[in-house]
Amino acid sequence: MNVDNLLEDFRQGRIAASELKRRLLGQSNAENGFARLDHQRLLRKGQAEVVFCQGKTPEHVAAIFAELAARTGRVLGTRADAAHYDAVRHMPGVRYDPLARILRVETAPVIPVGKVVVVSAGTADMPVAEEAAQTAEHLGSNVLRRFDCGVAGIHRFLSVLDDFLDARAVVAVAGMDGALPSVVAGAVAAPVIAAPTSVGYGASFGGLAALLTMLNSCAPGISVVNIDNGFGAGYMAHVINAQCEAARSDGAAQADKG
C-alpha cells in the first residue's frame, strides 16, 4: 500500500489516526548487521524493496527474504542462482526461474492491471526478456510475451503487430545490432523501453554496439536501460502501466461524480 492509499483509507475512516501515524512514522529500516532494509519504500513508491542477489551469500539472501516477506508477503530477487533458491525454498510461495535468474516469494496476491508487451529479437535474448517480463508481472502488470521477432525476419514482428496496439508500455530486448526497439517505436504508440543484451559476435563488444544503436535511435518515444538490465526495463514498464491505470481510475471516479 502506498501513501496515497493510506491517506485515502484514513479519509474514509477505515483506519484510525493512531494507525496512520504508526505506519507513517514507524521504523523505516531494519538493520541486521549486513543490510539496512527500507521498509517504507512500499509506502513511498508503491513497491517494496527488490533484492539484488548476485554477490550476496545464500544466508544473507535468506535472511533478507524472510524479513521482507514477513512485512509484505511478496519479495522479488534478481540475479539469483541455485544456491540462493536452496536457501529460501522452504518459504511459502517461493518460485525460481533459472533462465531469468528471478527468485520470488508471493503469498499476498495482487490483481494484475493494464498491458505490458515484452518483445525480444532472438531466442538468445530470452534471459533478459524473461527478467523484464517476470519483474513486471510480480509488480502487478499483465504481461504479454512475443519472443524471436528480430529485424532479420521483420515479418515475424509484423505478424504480431496487433498485439502491441493497446499496450501501455513495451519492452524491446535485443543484442547484435540492437535495431528492434527503433522498429517497434516506429510502429506503436506506447512508450518503448529498450534493453540491449550482451548477445552477439566480437564487434558487438558485449552489448555496447546494441546500447549505442538504441541511444542513437531516430524513433521518438524510446528510453534505454543498461546492458542486460531486464529488471530495470520491466520495472519502468510497470511504472508507466500503473500510472496509466491510476489515471484511468481517477478519470472514472471524476466521471461518476459529474
For residue 215 the three cell numbers come to: 541511444
What's the pLDDT score for residue 32? Answer: 67
In the predicted structure, residue 137 carries a pLDDT above the cut 70: yes
- pLDDT higher at 32 or 205: 205
Is the separation of the CB atoms in 177 and 154 below 8 Å? no
Q: What is the mean pLDDT of residues 91-116?
A: 95
What's the pLDDT score for residue 29? Answer: 56
From start to end of the chain, where are the E strands?
Answer: 29-31, 36-38, 51-52, 74-78, 94-97, 102-106, 113-120, 141-146, 169-174, 192-196, 222-224
This prediction has a pTM of 0.85
In the predicted structure, residue 155 carries a pLDDT above the cut 80: yes
In the predicted structure, residue 193 carries a pLDDT above the cut 90: yes
What domains are defined for the chain?
3-18+28-106 (no CATH), 113-240 (3.40.50.1970)
Tell me the one-letter amino acid at 112: P
Is the separation of the CB atoms in 26 and 57 below 8 Å? no
In the predicted structure, residue 39 carries a pLDDT above the cut 60: yes
CA torsion sign, 74 to 248 to 165 to 214?
negative
